[in-house]
């Protein structure tokens, strides 16, 4: 089932972001390092392209992501004009300290009290924008939580006499183009649970992890994963954890939630759900699948 999630307040949030972009020098886009492209909102790209604003892409939660995949993404983004990328954890102040220097380098004309640097933090829900804001301000100014879409209005802060910061609500886009993106976003808790079926999301995640990180699954759940599909893995999780319904059947829902939480917490190990190569392959396969329909039209 395709996943879509666009709460009503995001229409107003997009309008406010478009207005604020006019008075912004650099866009700081916070991404989930485990799925950097799937967690990049195309509306943000369109807004900053319209205003010709440079972008600092922050691959947050890099401590949870596969280091080799993260490096591949950094190389990928470095090849894009007007873009700088950093991998970091917004929970680590020493890593956040690199952000303002990197942003300043994207707007060298804004470096004195007469022309303060104006930064705008953007991104989808639950990627760590509020944690970043608090780390930059060195105080708790933005609400932080484990549920998506906590911030619902735009806030402006002064980092220093030479630097201002705009915090925007988490923005999704009206239609998620690729089903796999929806499932990756849901698995990473960027989409509200009311829009998804946890068991379907967990089965998608299990299939992906079996293909890419079978050894991590075997170590975590103490089972042989060869020949398993996603459903079988979740049933194995239920057996390993003792999740049973009345009558002895596996509690598939509880085991699904356990797998999702283990992934979100990093309990499985350092995992990335996509790489530049897998992204390219997915887009290529999608184009091939849609070609007959286009030709028929």
Segment 69-74 shows an average pLDDT of 98
Return the SS3 of 149: coil
**In CATH terms, are 9-167 and 197-283 the same topology?**
no
Return the SS3 of 222: coil
Higher local confidence (pLDDT), 272 or 158: 272
Query: Concatenated DSSP letters for 227-281?
Result: T--HHHHHHHHHHHHT-B-TTS-B-HHHHHHHHHHHHHHTTT-S--S--HHHHHH
Q: What architecture is domain 9-167?
A: 3-Layer(aba) Sandwich (3.40)
d(CA 242, CA 73) in angstroms, rounded, equals: 39
User: Using one digit for the tens of pLDDT, what is the confidence trace for 199-251?
Assistant: 999 999 999 999 999 999 999 999 999 999 999 999 999 999 999 999 899 99
The tokens describing 267, both together, are 């309990």
- CATH, domain range 197-283: 1.10.1580.10
DSSP state of 195: G
Grade residue 149 by pLDDT with cuts at 50, 70 and 90.
Answer: very low
d(CA 132, CA 90) in angstroms, rounded, equals: 5
**Residue 179: partners with Cβ closer than 8 Å, 6 or more residues away:** 2, 3
Run of H or E residues at 21: helix 9-21
Higher local confidence (pLDDT), 237 or 125: 237
Domain boundaries, the chain: 9-167, 197-283
Count of helix runs (H) and strand runs (E) in the chain: 12, 6
């Amino acid at each position: 089932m395709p996943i879509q999630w666009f709460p009503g307040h995001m229409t107003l949030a997009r309008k406010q972001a478009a207005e604020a972009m006019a008075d912004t020098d650099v866009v700081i886009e916070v991404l989930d390092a485990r799925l950097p492209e799937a967690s990049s909102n195309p509306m943000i790209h369109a807004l900053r392209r319209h205003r010709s604003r440079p972008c600092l892409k922050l691959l947050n939660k890099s401590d949870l992501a596969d280091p080799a995949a993260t490096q591949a993404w950094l190389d990928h983004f470095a090849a894009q004009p007007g873009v700088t990328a950093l991998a970091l954890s917004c929970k680590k102040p020493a890593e956040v300290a690199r952000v303002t220097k990197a942003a300043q380098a994207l707007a060298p004309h804004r470096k004195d009290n007469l022309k303060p640097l104006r930064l705008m933090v953007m991104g989808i829900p639950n990627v760590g924008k509020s944690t970043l804001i608090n780390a930059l301000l060195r105080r708790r100014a933005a609400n932080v939580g484990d549920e998506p879409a906590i911030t619902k209005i735009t806030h402006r802060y002064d980092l220093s006499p030479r630097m201002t910061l705009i915090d925007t609500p988490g923005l999704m886009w009206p239609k998620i183009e690729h089903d796999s993106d929806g499932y990756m976003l849901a698995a990473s808790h960027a989409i509200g649970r009311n829009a998804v079926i946890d068991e379907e999301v967990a089965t998608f995640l299990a299939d992906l992890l079996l293909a890419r990180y079978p050894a991590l699954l075997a170590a975590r759940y103490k089972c042989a994963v060869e020949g398993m599909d996603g459903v079988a893995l979740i049933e194995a999780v239920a057996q390993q954890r003792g999740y049973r319904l009345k009558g002895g059947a596996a509690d598939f829902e509880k085991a699904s939630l356990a797998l999702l939480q283990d992934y979100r917490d990093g309990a499985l190990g350092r995992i990335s759900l996509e790489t530049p190569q897998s992204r390219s392959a997915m887009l290529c396969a999608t184009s091939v699948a849609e070609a007959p329909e286009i030709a028929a039209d």
